[in-house]
Amino acid sequence: MPDPKTNRYQYFVSRRQNGEGAGGDGSCEHPLPSVRDALANIAQQHGGSAPQVKRLAGYDRVEIFALDKPGAPGQPGRAPRYEFYVDPLGAADGEGTGTAQRPWPDLDTALAGVARLDEQGSIPLAPGEHMALSVREVFSATPIDRRRRRTETIAGIVCGIMTLLLVVPLVLILGHLVVKAWPALSVSFLFENPRTSMTAGGIWAPLVGTFYLVFISLLVASPIGILAGVYLNEYAKDNWFTRIVNLAVVNLAGVPSIVHALFGVGAFVLFAGMGESVLAASCTLAVMTLPVIISSTKEALASVPMTFREACWNMGASRWQTIRTIVLPNSISGILTGVILQVSRAAGETAPILFTGAAFFLNVPDKGLRYFLPYSLDDSCMALSYHLYVLMTQVKGASDEQIAAGNAMPLEHLQYGTAVVLIGLVLAVNSVSIGLRVYLRSHKKW
């Protein structure tokens, strides 16, 4: 009887038959009368070349158990008294003897050999004992390999289902947003300024303000974060001060964004005298993104093998020359990935700019240089994230007459359109980061 869990085929024999000598099917309840009958059953089930035959593969095992009486439990946990082997490539000649050193070349030869030994009385089986015939094939999976593959398949299916549970809701949410925003999405929606109490026009002024905040915060945070990461990984010694700094960086990354906003109000708006301005809001965003830039820089630098540094030092280069010519070029992909990912985070933040530089509404010229560069460092600015908050909480929808006349747009379309543009901006930045990382990693020389 087959046992798929262990790749074993078990057959039972007993001289004391049910029904006074009636033949059985090889099961424990209906055993076969003799080993020879069991061998004939095995030949019928697994030998020959008939289509219905269940061929034995590598590491399959056929076992014949001798029972005291039908239904008596066997002892499959015990080692077999006699064990024979079949290996098409392991037989030294065309016959073999069934041993591990000289296995039989095929199952039919093995069954004939075992039958001959049984006829000679060389392999007597007492009740409770059994014999085994193992099939060995080169490059065949062992039972352990098969269990491992089943486990890996199950793990892959479970992980795939978990991935679908994450991806499908995301796709549904994005699809819902795009459908709701579709009437508002157009070129004019991107390049027109808000008008008519923000019930008409587009999102150009908030979009430009977002680019201002992100670009200036990047200019402030990137040099400081990268240099700090270089110092902590390449220069700083492993002492209590360095450990405190590393702990501070990790803790700072977990601080809520509204706390960064309050820090920006105290440090930049009031203490530094910047007021509520683009510069104050950008510096607040820079402080918020610094921990991740520092951490990503450290990880990227640590990924460069130490042997690279040692080889450069052996050539007489200084520590800074090694960092500049060897370490930084080989870690630039990880550093840029961390920096660019912080761009998308800064673009979507609302709390840090809420009290430091974001404006409810500002008039922006519709033409000229001020149309493209509407803000100075000392001015407040509009931003997409805050603009979306204003549309959701402060703006009242236009009347049906204004919408019918084409002077306004349904508020719902404006809200969903702004949300889709903001999400699209974040996705675009993340896509650029992934593409840049793939390109730089593909050009690595190690």
Per-residue pLDDT reduced to its tens digit, 171-184: 999 999 999 999 88
CB contact at 8 A, 234 and 322: no
3-state class (DSSP) for residue 414? helix
Neighbours of 159 (CB within 10 A): 10
What is the SS3 assignment for 255? coil
The token pair at 444 is 């690595």
- DSSP labels for 137-187? -TTPPPHHHHHHHHHHHHHHHHHHHHHHHHHHHHHHHHHHHHHHHTTT-SH
Residue in this structure with the two tokens 């820089």, named with its chain if needed? 297
Pairing state between β 8-13 and 194-195: unpaired
pTM equals 0.66
Question: From the CB of residue 273, how many other CB atoms can be counted at a distance below 10 Å?
Answer: 8
Per-residue model confidence (pLDDT) at position 23? 63
* Structural element, H or E, at residue 280: helix 278-302
Which are the contacts of 434, defined by CB distance < 8 A and separation ≥ 6? none
Give alpha helix (H) positions in 185-203.
Answer: 187-191
pLDDT of the residue at 21: 47
- Which of these, 146, 202, 168, lies nearest to 6 by C-alpha position? 146
Are the C-beta atoms of 71 and 51 separated by less than 8 Å? no
Q: How far apart are CA 375 and CA 208, in angstroms?
A: 9
Q: Are 103 and 136 in contact (CB under 8 A)?
A: yes
List the alpha helices (DSSP H) in 323-361: 328-348, 351-354
First to last CA, the chain: 55
Q: What contacts 374, CB < 8 A, 6 or more positions away?
A: 205, 208, 209, 362, 364, 365, 381
pLDDT for residue 438: 80
Average pLDDT score over residue span 291-313: 90
> What is the per-residue pLDDT across 1-31, written as a single tens digit (0 to 9) for each?
555 556 788 888 887 665 444 567 888 888 8
Name beta bridge partners: 63.
Answer: 10, 132
Predicted local distance difference test score (pLDDT) of residue 168: 94
Contact yes or no for 217/285 (Cβ under 8 A): yes
DSSP-derived letter for residue 195 is E
Tens digits of residue pLDDT in 255-268: 888 999 999 999 99
Q: Does the structure show a pLDDT above 60 at 92? A: no
H or E segment and range at residue 13: strand 8-13
pLDDT attached to residue 282: 93
Cα separation, 195 vs 154, in Å, equals: 57
Q: Is the dihedral of CA 139, 145, 150, 156 positive or negative?
A: negative
For residues 17 and 126, what is the distance between their CA atoms, to the nearest angstrom?
A: 16
- CA gap 429, 342 in Å, rounded: 9
Given a contact cutoff of 8 angstroms between Cβ atoms, the answer to whether 334 and 440 are in contact is no
Task: Give the pLDDT mean for 367-392.
Answer: 87
3-state SS, residue 223? helix
The CA distance from 233 to 41, in Å, is: 71
The DSSP 8-state label assigned to residue 267 in this structure reads: I
Q: How many residues does the chain have?
A: 446
Amino acid 20: pLDDT: 47
What confidence score (pLDDT) does residue 34 get? 87
Q: Regarding beta strands 200-201 and 194-195, do their DSSP bridges make them parallel or antiparallel, or are they unpaired?
A: antiparallel
Decide if 331 contacts 303 (C-beta within 8 A): yes
> At which residue do the structure tokens 């006349």 appear?
405
Mean pLDDT taken over the chain: 84
Instruction: Give percent of the chain with pLDDT exceeding 70.
Output: 88
User: 131-142: b or e for each residue (b if 16 or more CB lie within 10 Å)?
Assistant: bbbbbbbeeeee
